[in-house]
Structure 1
Amino acid sequence: MPKASCDASCVHAGSADTGRRPVVWVRTTVRVIMAVLLVPGLPLLAVPLPGRSHIQRFYCRMMLRCFGVRISVSGGPIRNLQGVLVVSGHVSWLDIFTIGAVLPGSFVARADLIEWPALGRLARIMKVIPIDRGSLRRLPDVVDAVAQRLTDGHTVVAFPEGTTWCGLAYGQFRPAMFQAAIDAARPVQPLRLTYRHRDGRQSTVPAFVGEDTLLSSVRRVITARRTVCHVHVCSLQLPGEDRRDLAGRCEAAARPEQALPSAPAHALVA
């Protein structure tokens, strides 16, 4: 099973206003209030309304702003294709809102998310495709479900690393999920996500790794002065016939240009 080597030592605090606690407190309070006001509208993203994709992008951008995150997009044009598998490296729960602000779709997510008291119901409404990392025997069923969604013309978002990394290191793209694109004969859109501080330094503030809890991760993000996520839209990859080749092509596209390979992970020189 995929297991990241990242832990709490990888995560460093954000650029908060040191010595200016009132500023941090006010900023954090405003962000929390804004996020709470937006949360009730999340189920509306699953309602088949005209122009839903535009609503989804706008909503995700607003939610990112509530957490103090700004987003910038570069690279190739965002093609309005039907039935595309979107893949990227996996750093944080923020990835969901970041990708949703660029290419919204159904997510492949950990199966235990369905069992969470509040998020579980929301995940079902949003038609999340659950994957049980503890039962590889069910993996073919997940691949078939993704392939069917792609065949039906839906966009599906997956994180082929299988777990989260800190953003300074990353894991290999596992080939299994790419079989869905091959079976459905649909293209794959790799995205390159890079989180940075407002001064351009690479940030591990959003990382959700090791024994980190969701609450502590959210607190770290929402109290940071500002986080900027750069999304690079890579070249669209045709499925071909070899899932390992397809996974390799997408992984190469999704990695930062300055990334240096190492084993078992790849380190990034900031």
Structure 2
Amino acid sequence: MTAENPWVPRATCNVSCVAATEAPTGQRIVVAWRVAIRATFAVVLLSAVPLLAIPMPGRSHLQRSYCRLMLRCLGVRITVSGGPIRNLQGVLVVAGHVSWVDIFAIGSVLPGRFVAKAEMINWPGLGFLARLMKVIPIDRDNLRRLPDVVSTIAVRLRAGQTVVAFPEGTTWCGLAYGQFRPAMFQAAVDAGRPVQPLRLSYHRRDGAASTIAAYVGDDTLPASIRRLITAQRTVVRVQVESLQLPGADRRDLAARCESAVRGDVTARAQGHALVA
């Protein structure tokens, strides 16, 4: 039996966290219709994925619209608030990581190349989407390949591409969260490109915090999808925080971005936000 690598992020959240904020789903016949309609539209929309890979003017607008429609098919509504989304090239986007749903939430605001766990490439449906979107795979159990991933991100940033990463290194339930690891931020430092922090939070229809979208522990993708499409409605709030200059210290950059994402106003005031 091999010991766990102490450097690999491990969340303390598990499947029990998912039920912590569970809300009533409604009458059986209503739930059945809800699931049937959402599942049908999601499958139809998934069949249109190849259109996202076609180079065309305004493709980023198409990707944003696609992600919003997919969220709606899953029973998720999105609200965006905070600072303006700056039209810059070569930006590293970072956020806390709760679920595979994060990809659609961020994609509906700032579409880009995602850094995601390598096993996602083999997921049915979503894996095909990941390959078309040219996801940058990362094997979190093989840290020797991490420098190659960081180098790939830096190359993409220098080429003017938007790259989205989740510095916690694993998913948390949304009520608890992990520390931002500095490794991914080295790519922004090396490329000399800014970082855009986003604060994501999931809520029930009544506004209460929700863990229904969380994908943690031994949870499975089918079970996660079933929870979402069964729930009455889930709302994901995306808060756009101040753009951060890379500086020369990845740890300082990671700390500034984590403070922004966690809503630490005092810490944010001490950071070096990029003001237009």
Q: Same fold (TM over 0.5)?
A: yes
Write out aligned runs for 1:1-270 (5 A): 1-12=8-19, 14-18=22-26, 20-116=27-123, 118-256=125-263
**Paired residues of 1:150 and 1:186 also in contact (CA < 8 A):** yes
CA offset at residue 153 of structure 1?
0.2
**Paired residues of 2:174 and 2:201 also in contact (CA < 8 A):** yes
After superposition, the Cα gap between the structure-2 partners of 1:61 and 1:253, relative to the gap in structure 1 and judged at 3 Å, is same
Amino acid corresponding to residue 101 of structure 1 in structure 2: S
Query: 2:234 and 2:264 mapped to 1: Cα distance?
Result: 20
CA offset at residue 17 of structure 1?
3.6
For residues 220-257 of structure 1, the C-alpha deviation after alignment (integer angstroms, 9 at most, x for no partner) is 01100000111000000000000000000000101145
**Paired residues of 1:14 and 1:220 also in contact (CA < 8 A):** no
After superposition, the Cα gap between the structure-2 partners of 1:245 and 1:126, relative to the gap in structure 1 and judged at 3 Å, is same
**Paired residues of 1:63 and 1:97 also in contact (CA < 8 A):** yes
Percent sequence identity is 68
Deviation larger for 63-72 or 38-47: 38-47
Q: Which runs of 5+ in 2 are unaligned?
A: 1-7, 266-276
CA offset at residue 180 of structure 1?
0.3
Q: Which runs of 5+ in 1 are unaligned?
A: 259-270
Query: 1:159 and 1:226 mapped to 2: Cα distance?
Result: 25
Aligned length in residues: 257
Query: 2:147 and 2:98 mapped to 1: Cα distance?
Result: 25
CA offset at residue 111 of structure 1?
1.3
Query: 1:121 and 1:214 mapped to 2: Cα distance?
Result: 15
CA offset at residue 42 of structure 1?
1.5
**Paired residues of 1:16 and 1:223 also in contact (CA < 8 A):** no
After superposition, the Cα gap between the structure-2 partners of 1:237 and 1:15, relative to the gap in structure 1 and judged at 3 Å, is same
CA offset at residue 125 of structure 1?
2.1
For residues 32-89 of structure 1, the C-alpha deviation after alignment (integer angstroms, 9 at most, x for no partner) is 0110110011222122111011111111000000011000000000111100000000
Amino acid corresponding to residue 188 of structure 2 in structure 1: A
**Paired residues of 1:28 and 1:223 also in contact (CA < 8 A):** yes
- 1:170 aligns to what SS in structure 2? coil
Query: 2:213 and 2:127 mapped to 1: Cα distance?
Result: 22
**Paired residues of 2:98 and 2:214 also in contact (CA < 8 A):** yes
**Paired residues of 1:92 and 1:208 also in contact (CA < 8 A):** yes
Q: TM-score under structure 2 normalisation? A: 0.90
- 1:246 aligns to what SS in structure 2? helix
Amino acid corresponding to residue 23 of structure 2 in structure 1: S
Query: 1:29 and 1:147 mapped to 2: Cα distance?
Result: 43
- 1:169 aligns to what SS in structure 2? coil
